[in-house]
Amino acid sequence: NHIIVCGYGRVGRQVVTELKQNKERFVVVETKQEIFNLNDVRGGIIPVYGDATKDEILKEAGIEKAKAVITTLPNDADNLYVVLSARELNPKVKIIARASRFPSVKKMRVAGASNVIMPDSLGGAHMALLVLNPDTVDFIDQLSIHKPNSPSLVEIDFNSRSESTSFGALKDLTADVTLLGVKKANGDILISPKEDLMVEKGEKLFAIANHDVVTEFKNQIAKI
């Protein structure tokens, strides 16, 4: 139930920083032994030396029992290969893949990636946002921070007696919860969908709400 990070370049290093901050268990697969410095080893990083595109290396990294693979190799073809191998060796593992070129994104999804991230596009979007909407960056930060008695972005599972309900009906349930979107069963995220969009059992709602009204809202949903 650990995480496998493939590649220890700039992207991989940042992944590791985040995982360490969250006290997650992980190993790092990297071909170049010399890339790990003394701080890395002292910091508790468990390296697996070898090529992540090889099944035996993924097995050595514990792919069969892993909960997630994050592949950050510099080459799209290599990441695609890791996605395919990881998916084959563990049908349930979550796979996050890095891509550099747009055409790779679809290929990686088809191959079994749960999410594909393009650092350059993300960076470019962020740079533009800092000019276009500097306050938005601020706003999103506030939205993501959960504080008592202050509304923030929350995830709410749609578990009701009905098989499905319209997004509009859910919006009308209470004024204390501002519904923003839905994650559909196929993984698509719909932002401000039309009121007649049907939300199905087991799907997920995104909303802005105080933490203390979420439980009440879930109870209201349960009765639908």
List, as own/partner pairs, every contact residues 5-8 make where C-beta atoms lie below 8 angstroms and the sequence separation is at least 24, other chains included: 5/29, 5/70, 5/72, 6/30, 6/52, 6/69, 6/70, 6/71, 6/72, 6/73, 6/79, 6/82, 7/52, 7/71, 7/72, 7/73, 7/74, 7/98, 8/32, 8/35, 8/36, 8/40, 8/47
Q: Which does 128 bind (CB under 5 to 8 A by kind): its own copies, Ca ion, none?
A: its own copies
Which x/- pattern over 11-50 shows residues binding its own copies (rule: CB under 8 A)? xxxxx-xxx--x-x--------------------------
The single residue among 77, 110, 128, 222 that binds its own copies, judged by CB under 8 A, is 128
Beta-bridged to residue 165, according to DSSP, are 199
| Least separation in angstroms between CB 49 and its own copies | 21
Range in contact with its own copies (rule: CB under 8 A) among 50-58, 84-92, 149-157, 215-223: 149-157
- Distance in angstroms (rounded) separating the CA atoms of residues 67 and 88: 14
- Distance in angstroms (rounded) separating the CA atoms of residues 154 and 182: 12
Name the residue nearer to Ca ion (CB basis): 135 or 188: 135
Range in contact with Ca ion (rule: CB under 5 A) among 38-46, 47-55, 58-66, 134-142: 134-142
The single residue among 41, 75, 106, 123 that binds its own copies, judged by CB under 8 A, is 123
The single residue among 115, 159, 162, 215 that binds its own copies, judged by CB under 8 A, is 115
The single residue among 117, 169, 197, 214 that binds its own copies, judged by CB under 8 A, is 117
